[in-house]
A and B are shown apart, each in its own frame.
Chain A
Amino acid sequence: MTQYVLRRLLGAIPLVLGIATIIFFLVNLAPGDPTLLLLSPGVTDEVIQQMRENFGLDQPVHIRYVKWIGAMLTGDFGYSFTHSRPVADVLMDFLPNTLILSASALLVAFLFGIVLGTIQAVRQYSAMDSSLSVVLLFFYSMPSFWLALMLILTMSLYARNVWGLPIYFPASGMMSTDYEFLSAGGKLVDRVKHLVLPTLSLALVLMAGIARYMRGSMLEVVRQDFVRTAHAKGLPERTVVFKHALRNALLPIITLVGLYIPFLFSGTVFIETIFAWPGMGRLIVEAIFQRDYPVVMAGAFFFATMVVVANLVADLLYAVVDPRIRYE
């Protein structure tokens, strides 16, 4: 088991290195003066020349590359001119918010996806199965940014202004403007309220995919011989489904975690932009438009690395759950 873990960890290192390399060369081989990558546009030529020397940009690409990798290893991701702070500090501010959003979306998506998929499989061909299939297919085909807007339209704007419902959800930010003045319980409720719409926008699309997959997996498992053996022992239906079938059906779902995380992160770009959520996705988009390339590079690198980490965790989880892998 430890061998398996070590092997996977070691394999991840060249992957991360490769990712960093791709990012660096993408950005630095772009047409145009690389000095402009580090400076705000509209600066005089003398300053540019000075900067060029300072940052060693008059040196050839491969030397810059090595220096950059070296700096990254020590945690120096450069300096952001739009935030006037080291990039590393900026990232640390925004990263936790993205993690909160992603984690809740993942949780909701997997929880509901697994439950719905199981219900569908157990009640195959019933009205519930068919109607759920239709609804899930809709959500599966939806762009998350549009879902976000529709949710805002219905559960925030219309709920409040047009229908006058008592419960409505905020359409932006992580907390209300009067957050400071709320009680401890009130603060929690406020945070949760602000989380609801962004999480749903991300989670519903993912959930649909997971439910479909789970349904297929369950149906396949239920046909297996060992399910027949379980019946032959006289076990009640509930035990057969939830103890014997479910655990086997969940195995491929774990690999879905690794597969869906990139989509999740892509989604956060849209969701954070729409909901003005102060996270990495929004950070990157703004940095791109403002040409703050150190932030862009660091952000992209971080996202990709998180994907690698998530895949690693998924693989480890798989080994924990499936004894066949464990004893390899």
Chain B
Amino acid sequence: MSDAQTAGASLLAVSDLRTWFHTDQGVARAVDGVSFEVRGRETLGIVGESGCGKTVTSLSVLGLLPQPPAKIQEGSSIRFEGEELVGASTKRMRALRGNEISMIFQEPMSSLNPVYKVGDQIGEALRLHRGMNKRASRAEAVRLLTEVGIPEPDRRVDEYPHQLSGGMRQRVMIAMALSCEPQLLIADEPTTALDVTIQAQILELLASLRDSHGMAVLLITHDLGVVAEVCDRVVVMYAGQVVETGTVHEIFQDPQHPYTRGLLDSLPSVDDPGQRLRSIPGTVPNPIAWPHGCRFKDRCSLAGPGCEKPQDLVELGVDRAARCWRVES
């Protein structure tokens, strides 16, 4: 099924997504006009600090946000293989979840149900979407465990989450997500909660599975190192908006937006050891009250007169854009 996915064809098209939260203190515009596209067989990374709206974006795609207080605003569009997901029926969304679009989360320990066996949880999607019986789904779960690199899968399949290490649990989550051969895998900070050495292993696993299954991946992370490893194209988010897009090469070699530059600068470099770590001064503003004009201007070293009005995305080429008036020059 996934081999029929044509590289380059638009798989997920998000257009002007606005997800707002209604709270006691006001309306938090967590995602405020975000557009991007994930194509067949490609890996798109969404990067940004915590609080920029990237997780909310990913949850909005699958409709996993509780509808009070969250609300996807009118005019937002999320199209999967041409089908509009915003406003789709719960039944349709449920048919897609775990089936055509899968998601893995940040904390593997708390994301697995502690009272059910691992194999049971992996097989659940298979029983639901493929109508398998218990025996068949268990056998398939064993196969999946092998595929994600867990040794002794026959034994592990009947174990409980607390009996596995962090890295293994994340592999189980991946197995669970892959069970129905989804077209698109959404990975929300999959390695953030893991040790550095395990991180590398999991990323490698994701990359190889992506290739062997021919699926597209939407990877959410705050870590540019992860982006460099696995992604083809990048979307940089800040304060609920997209501030820069481009391929990995373009972003790393020639960042256009000051925020992107700041992110890259703050990466410790092997080349000049002993150099003081640079960070972006200030903190992410409060989504209930985004600043007027450019939302980054209070932290930007290049702030100037043009920053007073809200910035539009400036097209710089095919799939290349930045939200800053300075790039036009």
A and B touch in the complex (CB under 8 A): yes
B112 within 8 A of A: yes
Q: Mark A222-240, 1 if CB is under 8 A from B, else 0.
A: 0011101111111110000
Query: Can you name the residue of chain B whose Cβ is closest to the Cβ of A226?
Result: B113
Give the complex CA separation of A322 and B114 in angstroms. 8
**How distant is the Cα of A127 from the Cα of B115 in the complex, in angstroms?**
32
Contact with A along B75-112 (1 / 0, CB 8 A): 00000000000000000011111110011010100111
Whether B115 pairs with A235 at a CB distance below 8 angstroms is no
Contact bitstring B107-131, A, C-beta under 8 A = 1, else 0: 1001111111000000011001100
Q: How many residues from A make CB contacts under 8 Å with B?
A: 21
Judge whether A247 and B115 touch: CB under 8 Å.
Answer: yes
A28 within 8 A of B: no
Q: How far is the CA of A322 from the CA of B161 in the complex (A)?
A: 12
Bound Cα distance A324, B95 (Å): 32
When chains A and B are docked, how far (Å) is the Cα of A251 from the Cα of B129?
Answer: 30
Residue of B nearest to A230 (CB): B113
Nearest Cβ distance between residue B65 and chain A, in whole angstroms? Answer: 10
Q: Contact check, B94 vs A236: say whether CB atoms are below 8 A apart.
A: yes
**Known contacts A228-B64, A327-B163: A233-B112 contact under CB 8 Å:** no
Contacts of A327 in B (CB 8 A): 160, 162-163
Q: B176 at interface (Cβ–Cβ under 8 A)?
A: yes
Interface status of A97 (Cβ within 8 A of chain B): no
Query: Across the two chains, which residue of chain A brings its CB closest to B110?
Result: A225
| Chain A residues whose CB sits within 8 angstroms of the CB of B93 once the complex forms | 234
- The smallest C-beta distance from A262 to any residue of chain B, in angstroms, reads 28
| Given A232-B103, A233-B124, A327-B160, A226-B98 contact (CB < 8 Å) | no
Take A233-B124, A234-B98 as given contacts and tell me if A321 and B115 are in contact as well, using a CB distance cutoff of 8 Å: yes
A234 touches B96 (CB 8 A): yes
A231-B160 contact, Cβ under 8 Å, with A226-B111, A248-B113, A323-B115: no
- The answer for the CA separation of A247 and B113 in the assembled complex, in Å, is 10
Structural contact, B176 and A233, CB atoms closer than 8 A: yes
On whether the beta carbons of A233 and B125 are closer than 8 Å, the reply is yes
Within 8 Å of chain A (Cβ to Cβ): is B62? yes
Tell me whether A234 and B94 are in contact (CB under 8 A).
Answer: yes
Q: How far is the CA of A327 from the CA of B93 in the complex (A)?
A: 38
CB contacts (< 8 Å) of B115 on chain A: these are 247-248, 251, 321-323
Q: Is the CB of B103 within 8 A of A248?
A: no
In the complex, A60 Cα to B102 Cα: how many Å?
Answer: 78
Contact check, A224 vs B110: say whether CB atoms are below 8 A apart. Answer: yes
User: In whole angstroms, how far apart are the Cα atoms of A251 and B95 in the complex?
Assistant: 31
Q: Which residues of B lie under 8 Å from residue A324 when comparing CB positions?
A: 114, 160, 162
Indicate whether A52 reaches chain B with its CB closer than 8 angstroms. Answer: no
Closest CB of chain B to A222's CB: distance in Å?
A: 10
CB distance from B63 to the nearest CB of A (A): 9
Chain B CB within 8 A of A244 CB: yes
Contact A234 B125 (CB under 8 A): yes
Closest-by-CB residue of A relative to B173 is A229
Name B125's closest neighbour in chain A (CB-CB). A233
Are B162 and A232 in contact, CB atoms less than 8 angstroms apart?
A: no
* Chain B neighbourhood of A226, CB < 8 A: 110-114
Interface residues of A in 234-259 (CB under 8 A from B): 234-236, 244, 247-248, 251
CA–CA, A251 to B114, complex, Å?
Answer: 11
Is A225 a contact of B111 with CB atoms below 8 Å? yes
- Give the CA-CA distance A230 to B114 in the complex, in Å: 13
Please report the C-alpha to C-alpha distance between residue A327 and residue B160 in the assembled complex, in whole angstroms: 10
* Cross-chain contact A233 with B110 (CB below 8 angstroms): no
A235 and B111 CA atoms in complex are apart in Å by 15
Q: Would you call A225 and B97 a contact (CB within 8 A)?
A: no
CB pair A235 B160 closer than 8 Å: no
Are A234 and B160 in contact (CB-based, < 8 A)?
Answer: no
Given contacts A323-B162, A324-B160, contact A234 B128 (CB under 8 A): yes
Closest residue of A by beta carbon distance from B90: A237
State A244–B115 Cα separation when bound (angstroms): 9
Residues of A within 8 A of B98 (CB): 232-235
* Cβ of A23 to closest chain B Cβ, rounded Å: 40
Provide 14 A-B residue pairs closer than 8 Å at the C-beta atoms, listed in order of the A residue.
A224-B110, A225-B105, A225-B110, A226-B111, A229-B111, A231-B97, A232-B97, A234-B96, A234-B97, A234-B98, A251-B115, A323-B114, A327-B162, A327-B163
10 A-B pairs with least C-beta separation: A234-B97, A233-B98, A225-B110, A234-B98, A226-B113, A234-B94, A225-B111, A323-B160, A232-B103, A233-B125
- A residues near B (Cβ < 8 Å) are 224-226, 228-236, 244, 247-248, 251, 321-324, 327
**Extra A-B contacts (6), CB below 8 Å, given A233-B128, A235-B94:** A224-B110, A225-B107, A225-B111, A234-B125, A234-B128, A321-B115
